[in-house]
Each structure stands twice: as C-alpha cells, then as structure tokens.
Structure 1
Amino acid sequence: MVGMMRRKELAGFLRSRRESLGPEAAGLPGGSRRRTPGLRREEVAQLSGVSVTWYTWLEQGRDITVSRQVLESLSRALQLTPAERGHLFALAGAPLPAEPARRMPVSPTLRTLLETLEPNPAHVISPCWDLLAYNRAYADLVGGLDDLPEEERNSVWLLFTRPGMRTLLVDWQCEARDILGQFRAAADKNPDDPRTTALVDALLAASPTFVSMWSAHPIRAFASATKHFDHPRAGRFSLNYTKLTVTEDVTQHLVVFLPVAEGDATALQRLAELDRPVPSRA
C-alpha cells in the first residue's frame, strides 16, 4: 500500500492537473457556471471510466488500491505529459509499464560534442549497439563505416563479421565475449525489440563464432576498461573506454575512448593526420 505522505502527494497532483485542464481541451462543453477552474471531479471520473465516489476518494488521499489500467485512464483523461505520467505512477506506487523503444535522432548538441572530442574516438549507440553517430576519429579507428549500409553499422555486427576487427583488437576473444555479454544483458531488457531480434538472427546466419559464443549465454555488466589496439597504420596503442547515458534519451549512450598515456595520445594524433589532405604547393 502507498504511505500517507504519498497518498497526499497523489491527491494534490491529481487535483492540480484537473484544475489546469479546461473542459474545452478535454472535449467537453465549457459553460459559464463553473465555481472552480478546470474540470469537475465527475468529469474526470467520466473521462476515466471510474465512479465519482472512487475518484473523490483518490483526491482525498484515501487508502485505496489503484490499478495500472486506471492510472493509464487517468493519464489520458488529464492529458499528462510522459514525465507527468511517470510521476503519477511513482506516486501511486505502481511500476511504469515498459514502452516500445523509439529511435530518436542524435541531437545537434551531441553531434557537436562528438566533433569536439577529436582526436579521441567517440560514438553514440542504441540499446542494440547500432552506431547512431560517430566522429571522424572513430571512423578512422574502425575504418570504412561511411560505406556500410545502415543496418551493418553496428558494433556487434562489425565485431563478428569484419575480419579486420580480429587484428585491430589485440585480445579479440576477450573483447568479443565481454561485448557480447553486455549486448545480451541489454537485449534481455527489450525481448520483443524487432531490431535486436533481426540482428541476432543475421549474426547466427553469418558467423559460426557468434553461434558458439551466443550459445554459451554470456552476461556482463558494463564496466570502464582499457582496450588495446593494433592499427595497421597507427601502430599499437591503448585507450580507456567509458560509456555515458544521454539524459534526453536514455536509450542512447555516448561511448568515448581516451588515451592511457602520452604515447597513446600521440598515436591518435598520428591517426588523425593520416587522413588529412596534404596542402598543395603553389
């Protein structure tokens, strides 16, 4: 059951949203003989499909159980925003139903941040490790990303289907098991996601190594780590790797690689300069 303080907060929240929603906005006739602003309690009850008495008890902070279906009805009737809907469920002590994952575009600010991080490699990934955006340093590190179709610009797909990744990552086997464990843990949170299902099916068909590792059911939690690279043009270097959640869209994660030592920073700078055009001589 919800505690007394939460019930009072829930009552106050419902009352505030009811009073801020005009009848016309709710599709009801306005009229001029209204003693209170916004909707009446009986109107909210009607729109939500509950009894007036029950809704009145809710606004009075009575100790009653509220189902998720009723909370959804109240959310629609009061035209709550996603943030307000989440607050309503929290006050009622009910778990917020999972919503289908929506791919939102990477914001211009985040793209600018990726560019600002140069010459340090960085990219933005989705829950199924699709590469949503990346800077030139990351493209130079992995190579050939711009030429790939969108569905193949995926960290897990590249790891298991691109032969060059096995030589780029010094300890490919360890890296593959670790990343696959993180991928599987993320997939468990969205078992019905069609993109994840399609990706796994494609990998099962394309890579016997993936089949073997996937059947072992690896599970890993993310942890910042040091990754060792052997780049065909920039040589050997080590980078610290971390991942940050994007607050404006928590399905997006910013992944950043930073040099461990001065020699690693020099290698990244050398990699960046390799693709710079040579200035022409007059």
Structure 2
Amino acid sequence: MTTVAPESDVRRHELAEFLRSRRERIPPEQVGLVRGRRRRTPGLRREEVAQLSAVGVTWYTWLEQAREIQVSPQVLDALARALLLDASERTHLFSLAGVMDPAPPAQCPSVTPALRAMLDQLDPLPAYVQNSRYDILAYNTTYGRLLGDLDRVPPEDRNCLWLAFTDADWRAAVVDMPEARRMMAAKFRASMAGHLTEPAWKTLLARLEATSPEFREVWARHEVVGQGGKVKYIRNAHVGLLHLEFTNLWLGPTGGPRLLTYVPLDEETRERLERLRDLSPATV
C-alpha cells in the first residue's frame, strides 16, 4: 500500500530544498563577506544567511531541515532579500511557505506593455485587468476613479471582493450593493473550487471572514454562479449616476485573467465618463 505524504510535509521539504539551492548559488563576495581558505560549502553558509537576514541560526537550520515551525511574512521577506531572490523566486518562496507576501511584486507577468497601452486607449471607457481571485492587476484612469480613488488603495488591497465588503467608497458607489456582493461571493466560491489549497486564496478568504460580518453571512449560503456580463448602475461621487454594461475578454483559459470593460448605455453616461477621466487628480 502506497502512503501519500501530507501536503504540509511536501511543502516544508520543497521549501527547505529551495532555500538550500538559493543559498548555495551565492558566492560570499557577492554579499560583502570574505570567502576564507577553509570554506567547503558552495555559496553561503547557513549561519551567514541567518546573519544577513537577522534571524537565529538554529531557527534557520530547522527551516532548511524541513522541521514543522511557524514562519512569519517579515522573516520570509528578510530571507528573500538576503538570498537575492528575484520576483518569481520571491513569489515561489511565499507560496511554498503558505504565507501571504506583504510586498508582492508590482508587475504581473500577464499584464504586458501592449495590454497596458490598450487600457489607456480605452479611456474614457473604464477598463481593468482582473484575475479569478478578483485581484486588480492593472487599470486605466477612468476605472481608477469609477468607484473611489483606486490609486490611494494599497496594492495588497486592490481586490474587488475585498473592497466591496470593506471600503466605504465602493459600498456607496454601487447601486444595489447587497446583490452585487452576493453575486461576487458566489463567483468567488465557484472559482475557488480549483484553488482550495493555494495560500493566496485561503489568505483572502480568511481576511474577509475575519473583517466583514456581511461576507460571513453571504459566504455561509454556499451559492455558486459562473462569470458573465451584466448591466450596472454606479453612482460616482464626482459625476453622478452612470448606466453601464460590463463585459469580459478572457486573456487565457476561462477562469484566468481577463480584461473587463464598462460600456456606457446612454449618451449622458458617456459624457459623464469623459468628465470623470478629465478630472484633476487633486479633485479625485
């Protein structure tokens, strides 16, 4: 009979091997250390990594031994810097540890310069790129002002589901917000079925459940719906009521990143979108 190791064990061993491989590739001179004559370890020693990241040698050794210990985002951040990880390696480190990155890479590989240019060309039509977890990956000027001032939202909070349940400006802007939140939670549950063990999904769910009683009530219904377009009314604080229809343009397989656009359904809405785009940044 074949025994399958628990996922947590697999993750710890993968994390240990990844840290060891990154440590061994860095020559000491690259981080300002003296090699010395008696060095046998390729790359850095464990105690040198511990010193560079300001963590205990024993604790770091246990991490490389795949022991069952808790690791904080702050410590992982320090290790990522000490080991000179690039953006992809950093993302991999936090994923293996099952911890949310407090400073995720600003650029998303699915958002190319050409796609960003397309977003800008669509102005004053509000448009943005979003993944199936509701993270906002990129947006144009008009969308950034549609439901509040998105530029002022910390990057880690630029998530439509999070903002719908926690941000006062978003809650005020969407007409029939209770129904909108119910549908968003149902779509999130349907999408999450394929990502149940992924740390970023579990972290977002835990944050929502800990922060929003409204989310907990809606989530407990276990509703699921698929993605699709819909007519919306949005009451913008600067230009008034907007009558819009949003559509999805998938950038990969259904369920992956997608480009969403809001098309005005009457001339008055189109004129108001142009005014919204042209507002001075100090006004927003």
CA RMSD of aligned residues (A): 2.1
Greater alpha carbon shift after TM alignment, 200-209 vs 216-225: 216-225
Check whether the contact 1:104–1:249 (CA below 8 A) recurs between aligned residues: no
Q: Report the 3-state secondary structure (helix = DSSP H, G, I; strand = E; otherwise coil) of the residue aligned with 2:196.
A: coil
After TM superposition, give the deviation of residue 105 of structure 1 in Å.
Answer: 4.0
Deviation at 1:127, TM superposition (A): 1.8
Q: Distance in 2 between matches of 1:269 and 1:134?
A: 16
CA offsets 1:37-73 (integer angstroms, 9 cap, x no match): xxxxxxxxxxxxxxxxxxxxxxxxxxxxxxxxxxxxx
Deviations 1:208-252 (A, max 9, x none): 000100111121112211010111111011110111110399721
Runs of 4+ that moved beyond 3 A:
247-250
1:213 aligns with 2:218: yes
**Equivalent residue in structure 2 for 1:252, among 248, 257, 270:** 257
Query: 1:189 corresponds to which residue?
Result: 194
Q: Is the CA contact 2:126–2:142 (under 8 Å) kept in the aligned structure 1?
A: yes
Task: State the TM-score, normalizing by the size of structure 1.
Answer: 0.59
Contact persistence 1:130–1:154 (CA under 8 A): yes
Q: Which residue of 2 aligns with 1:136?
A: 141
Alignment match, 1:24 = none
Secondary structure of the structure 2 residue equivalent to 1:189: coil
For 1:160, give the aligned amino acid.
Answer: F
Does the aligned pair in 2 maintain the 1:130–1:155 contact within 8 Å?
yes
Distance 1:276 1:205, change over 3 A: closer
Contact 2:110–2:257, Cα closer than 8 Å, also in 1? no
Q: 2:279 aligns with which of 274, 277, 282?
A: 274
Partner of 2:76: none
In the alignment of these two chains, the number of paired residues is 177
CA distance in structure 1 between the partners assigned to 2:230 and 2:183 by the alignment: 11
Partner of 2:18: none
Q: Trace 1:159-174 onto structure 2 (pairs within 5 A).
A: 159-174=164-179
Larger Rg: 1
Query: Distance between the aligned counterparts of 1:275 and 1:178, measured in 2?
Result: 34
Query: Per the alignment, in what secondary structure is the counterpart of residue 132 of structure 2?
Result: coil
Q: 1:270 & 1:259 partners in 2: Cα distance?
A: 13
1:177-234 deviation line (CA, Å, top 9, x unaligned): 1111111111112111211110000000110000100111121112211010111111
Superposed counterparts of 1:11-26, under 5 Å? none
2:156 is matched by which residue type in structure 1? Answer: E
**Candidates 124, 136, 139, aligned match of 1:119:** 124
CA distance in 2: counterparts of 1:256 and 1:157, whole angstroms: 20
* Secondary structure of the corresponding residue to residue 268 of structure 1: helix
Name the structure 2 match of 1:8: none
Shift of 1:166: 2.0
2:183 matched residue in structure 1: 178
Letter of the 2:257 partner, please give it. Q
Q: Which residue of 1 aligns with 2:207?
A: 202
Describe the SS at the equivalent of 1:228: strand
CA distance in structure 1 between the partners assigned to 2:222 and 2:209 by the alignment: 14
1: distance between equivalents of 2:253 and 2:227? 21
The residue aligned with 2:62 is none
Distance verdict in 2 for CA 1:191–1:117, change over 3 Å: same
Q: Secondary structure of the equivalent of 2:223?
A: coil
Equivalent position amino acid for 1:110 in 2: L
User: What amino acid maps onto 2:223 in structure 1?
Assistant: P
Q: Alpha carbons of 1:111 and 1:182: their partners in 2 closer, same or farther (altered >3 Å)?
A: same
Superposition pairs of residues 6-45 of structure 1, within 5 angstroms: none
Using the size of structure 2 for normalisation, the TM-score is 0.59
SS at match of 1:242: strand
- Unmatched runs of 5 consecutive residues or more in structure 1: 1-99
